[in-house]
Amino acid sequence: MTTTQEQPTTGGSAFRRPKATTGFGSWFTTIDHKKIGILYFATAFLFFSLGGIEALLLRTQLSSPDMAFLTRDQYNQLFTMHGLTMIFFGVMPLGSAAFNYLLPLMIGARDVAFPRLNALSYWVFLFAGIFLYSSVLLGGAPDGGWFAYAPLNVLGGDPLGETLGFASEQSARMMFYSLGLQLAGIASLASAVNFIVTILNMRAPGMTLMRMPVFIWMTLVTSVLMLFAMPVIGVALWQLMFDIGYGANFFNPALGGDPVLWQHMFWLFGHPEVYIIILPAFGIISEVLPVFSRKPLFGYTAIVFSGIAIGFMGWGVWAHHMFAVGLGPVANAAFALSTMFIAVPTGIKIFNWLGTMWGGQIRFRTPMLFAIGMVAMFTIGGLSGVTHAIVPHNYQQTDTYYVVAHFHYVMFGGAVFGLMAGFYYWFPKVKGRMMDERLGKLHFWLMLVGFNLAFGPMHVLGLQGMPRRVATYPDGMGWNLWNLVATVGGYMIALGFLVFVINVLKSRKGGLPAGDDPWDARTLEWSTTSPPPVHNFNEVPVVRTRDDFWNRKYASGDPSRTPLRVPSGGSGEAGADAGDVAHDIHMPDPSYYPLVAAFGMPIMAYGVLFTPILIAVGGVITIAGLFGWALEPSAEEH
C-alpha cells in the first residue's frame, strides 16, 4: 500500500515502534500469525511435556500396590496439575497453534482479522500458565482435581491458607486454579473471536463456506464452542474465587450454597471442552487422509454437518458426567438418550474417513500413520463412550479407571494422535524441510504400542473396581499386573515423544528441502512457498471448486492427468518478482502493546492473592497497554 493515512498524534510516539521482523527480539513484538502459531506450538508443547512428566510420576506411584514414591499431598497436586495442564495448557493450545499458523494460509488470506489481538491471546495464555505453575514455588499447586468439585475446594484444608492471608480452612491453592483459568479463558475468548471473524470475512474470492477445507470448518465450530463455553466456566471460576477468598456462598452448603450447582456449571463448560479439544483433530484427519489416499474427502457435506451437529449437541450432554449425583431418573434418562444420540454424527465421521481411504492409493508416510492410528484409537474411545450411556452400568463405571481409559482414548488416541498427524504433515510447510521418516515411524509405533499398553488395561482395572484419583491401592485386589503394564506403557509413550523431539531438532535445519508441495496436497497453503512469505501469497488465489489447488494441478478433463504448473506464489517465474511483491504488499507492523497489556493481567491475579496494591499496578499496566494499542496505527509508513 502506498497511500498511508496521516499519522494521528498519539502518546505512542514516546516509544520507538519496533520494526524488526526477524531476530530474537522480534518474537516479543510479532503479530504475524505464523510466528504466533510457532510460539503457541512451542509453549504448548512445553506445557504438554510438563503434563507428561507429571503423568509419569503418577504412574510410577501406581506401578505397584502400597507404593510410597509420592505422598498423598504430592499425588493430589500432581493429578490436578496433570489434568489442568493437558486440557488448558497442552492439548487445547496445540490446536490453537495449528489454527493460528494455518487458518489464513488455508483460506487464502494474508493474516487473521485482528493480528494484535492474536498476539495478546498468546501472551495471556503464556502468563496464565506461568501464573498457575508459580503456585508450586508459593507453597503448593492446586490439589482439588481439575474438576475442582465443591465443597471440597471451597473448604480446602491445605496448610498454605494462612500464609496467603486466607482463613486457614480455605484453600489458597485453589485460588491459583481459579485465577489461572480465568486468565487462560481470556486468551481462548480472544482467539475464538479472531478466528470466527477471520473465517467469515477473509476467505479468498470464490471460497464459499461449502468450499472451505474441513479443517477450517472444524476451526469455526471449535471457535464458536469456545466463544460460548469460556464465559460459562469464567462465571463459575469467579464464583469459586468469591467462595474461597471472601466467604461467599455459591457452592458451600454450610452457608446455604449448592455443591451440585458447581457441577452443572463446570460440566456445561466441560463437555463442550471435550469437543473443543477433539474437533481440531477431526479437521486435521480430514485433510491428511485425502492427501495420502490421493482421493477427495468422502462425504464432505456429511462430515461438515456432523461436525456442526456435534458442536450443537455437545451442549446437551453435560449431565452424563453426573449420573451418580442423583439427579433423578428423568434427568438421567434424558441425558442417556442425548449421549447415545451424539454417537451418530461421530460414527458418520469415522465411516466417511474409511470411505476416503477405500479405493485410494494409500501412502504410508508418518502423517498418514498417525491419521490412521487416530481413526482406530478414537473408535475405541467412542465405543466406550457409548457404554457410559447405559446409565445403570454407568453407576459402576463412573469415577473408575474405566473412565480414565475412555477419555484418554478420546483425548490422546483421538486429539493427540490427530495433532501429531498434523505436525508431521505441515512441518515441511513451516520449515521448508522434511521430517525424518524413519524417526517419525519409530515415534508412531512407540506411541501406538505404548498408548495401548498404558490405557488399554485401565478399562479392565476400572471394571475390576479400581477407583480414580486414588494415590495408592492395597495388595490383593487383582490390580497389580495391569497397573504395572500401564506404567510401562506410560514410559514407552515418553520415549516416543523423546524421539519426536530429536526428530524436530534434527529436521529443523538438517531435513531434506521440502519444496512447496511435497505431499501432492489439495489445499491452498501448499500453493505458496515453504516457508510462506510474511504476506503468505504473492497473488490472492481465486477459488473455483473444493480442492481447488488439486484441481488446478490435475485438470479434471485432461485424460493424461498431467500435473499443471503451480500458478501462484512459490518458485517459478513469480519468484523473480517476489521482492517487489513483498514491497507492494503492506503488512501490519510489530507492536509492544499486546505484550504490555497481557503483562498486567497476572500481576492483577497476584494482587487478588497477596495485596490489593498489585491489582492496581497490574490494572494500570494493562490499561496503559490497551491505550497505547488503541492509539497506535496498525501500520506506519516505512
Partner 1 sequence: MRARRRLVGWGLLLGAVLVVSGCAIGGDTAGEFPQSALDPQGPIARSQDRLWDLVFPIAVGVFILVQGAIIVAVVRFRDRGQTDPPKQVAGNTRLELIWTAIPALVLAVIAVPTIGGIFALAEDPGEEALQVRVIGKQFWWEFQYLGDEGQGVVTANELHIPVDRPVRLQMESLSPAIPDSYDEADPTGSRSDQSLAGVIHSFWVPSLAGKQDVIPGYERIMRLEAEEPGQRYPGQCAEFCGLAHAEMRFEVVTHTTEDFDGWLAAQSQPAGTDLEGLAAEGQELFGVHCVACHVIEGHPENNDQRVGPNLTHFASREVFAGGIFDNDDDETLAAWLRNPSEIKPGAQMPDLGLPDDQVDALVEYLQTLE
Site for partner 1 in 290-319 (CB under 8 A): 293-302
Element (H, E) at 358: none
Phi-psi bin for 224: left (phi > 0), alpha (psi -120 to 50), beta?
alpha
Rg (CA), the chain: 25
> Based on CB atoms, which residue is closest to partner 1, 121 or 379?
379
Binders in 390-429 for partner 1, by CB under 8 A? 390-400
Sign of CA dihedral 161, 165, 166, 171: negative
Per-residue binder mask for partner 1 (CB under 8 A), 325-364, x = binder: xx-xx--xx--xx--xx-xx--xx-xxx-xx-xxxxxxxx
Burial class (CB in 10 A: 0-12, 13-18, 19+), 103: buried
Q: Which stretch, 52-60, 257-265, 569-577, 619-627, contacts partner 1 (CB under 8 A)?
A: 257-265
Cis peptide before 159 (omega within 30 of 0): no
Least Cβ distance, residue 614 to partner 1 (angstroms) = 31
Sole binder of partner 1 in the list 459, 530, 570, 604 (CB under 8 A): 459
Sorted by sequence, the CB contacts under 8 Å of residue 544 that are 6+ apart come out as 206, 551
Burial class (CB in 10 A: 0-12, 13-18, 19+), 340: middle
536 residue type, one letter: N
Measured CA to CA in angstroms, residue 465 lies from 243, 395, 396, 397, 402 at distances of 34, 12, 8, 8, 9
Sole binder of partner 1 in the list 387, 575, 636, 637 (CB under 8 A): 387
> Based on CB atoms, which residue is closest to partner 1, 45 or 353?
353
> Position of cell 466456566?
233
The residues facing 433 across adjacent strands are 513
Least Cβ distance, residue 594 to partner 1 (angstroms) = 38
Least Cβ distance, residue 291 to partner 1 (angstroms) = 11
Least Cβ distance, residue 538 to partner 1 (angstroms) = 27
Q: Is 51 in contact with 411 (CB distance < 8 Å)?
A: no
Least Cβ distance, residue 348 to partner 1 (angstroms) = 6
- Asked if residue 441 binds partner 1 (CB under 8 A), the reply is no
Burial class (CB in 10 A: 0-12, 13-18, 19+), 260: middle
- b/e code 186-211 from CB counts within 10 Å (16+ = b): bbbbbbbbbbbebbeebbbeebeeeb
Sorted by sequence, the CB contacts under 8 Å of residue 556 that are 6+ apart come out as none
- Asked if residue 258 binds partner 1 (CB under 8 A), the reply is yes
- Asked if residue 611 binds partner 1 (CB under 8 A), the reply is no
Binders in 118-157 for partner 1, by CB under 8 A? 144-145, 149, 151-152, 155, 157
Number of residues that bind partner 1 (CB under 8 A): 104
Sole binder of partner 1 in the list 508, 561, 572, 616 (CB under 8 A): 561
- Asked if residue 367 binds partner 1 (CB under 8 A), the reply is no
Sole binder of partner 1 in the list 29, 43, 63, 76 (CB under 8 A): 76
- Asked if residue 457 binds partner 1 (CB under 8 A), the reply is yes
Q: Which stretch, 43-51, 72-80, 82-90, 197-205, contacts partner 1 (CB under 8 A)?
A: 72-80
> Based on CB atoms, which residue is closest to partner 1, 341 or 627?
341
Sole binder of partner 1 in the list 316, 432, 456, 633 (CB under 8 A): 456
Sorted by sequence, the CB contacts under 8 Å of residue 185 that are 6+ apart come out as 230, 231, 233, 234, 237
Per-residue binder mask for partner 1 (CB under 8 A), 476-515, x = binder: xxx-------------------------------------
Measured CA to CA in angstroms, residue 551 lies from 288, 295, 358, 557, 609 at distances of 17, 12, 20, 10, 58
Sole binder of partner 1 in the list 253, 513, 572, 612 (CB under 8 A): 253
- CA gap 431, 289 in Å, rounded: 22
- CA gap 44, 616 in Å, rounded: 30
> Based on CB atoms, which residue is closest to partner 1, 363 or 583?
363
Sole binder of partner 1 in the list 17, 468, 506, 586 (CB under 8 A): 468
- CA gap 531, 349 in Å, rounded: 31
Sole binder of partner 1 in the list 463, 574, 608, 635 (CB under 8 A): 463
Cell numbers given for 312? 450443537
> Based on CB atoms, which residue is closest to partner 1, 329 or 579?
329
Sole binder of partner 1 in the list 554, 581, 624, 633 (CB under 8 A): 554
- CA gap 539, 578 in Å, rounded: 10
Cα angle 226, 100, 604 (rounded to 5 degrees) comes to 60
> Based on CB atoms, which residue is closest to partner 1, 226 or 466?
466
> Based on CB atoms, which residue is closest to partner 1, 18 or 299?
299
599 residue type, one letter: F
Cell numbers given for 481? 499386573
- Asked if residue 380 binds partner 1 (CB under 8 A), the reply is yes
Q: Which stretch, 110-118, 222-230, 442-450, 573-581, contacts partner 1 (CB under 8 A)?
A: 442-450
Binders in 177-236 for partner 1, by CB under 8 A? none
**Residue 110 CA to its chain's centroid (Å):** 23
Least Cβ distance, residue 312 to partner 1 (angstroms) = 16
Least Cβ distance, residue 216 to partner 1 (angstroms) = 18
Least Cβ distance, residue 315 to partner 1 (angstroms) = 19
Least Cβ distance, residue 287 to partner 1 (angstroms) = 15
**End-to-end alpha-carbon separation of the chain, Å?**
11
The total of other beta-carbon atoms located within 10 Å of residue 472's CB is 15
Q: Is 99 in contact with 90 (CB distance < 8 Å)?
A: no
- Asked if residue 372 binds partner 1 (CB under 8 A), the reply is yes
> Based on CB atoms, which residue is closest to partner 1, 159 or 575?
159
Per-residue binder mask for partner 1 (CB under 8 A), 264-293, x = binder: -----------------------------x
Q: Is 473 in contact with 479 (CB distance < 8 Å)?
A: yes
> Based on CB atoms, which residue is closest to partner 1, 178 or 538?
178
- Asked if residue 65 binds partner 1 (CB under 8 A), the reply is no
Least Cβ distance, residue 179 to partner 1 (angstroms) = 22
Least Cβ distance, residue 320 to partner 1 (angstroms) = 12
- Asked if residue 10 binds partner 1 (CB under 8 A), the reply is no
Least Cβ distance, residue 69 to partner 1 (angstroms) = 14
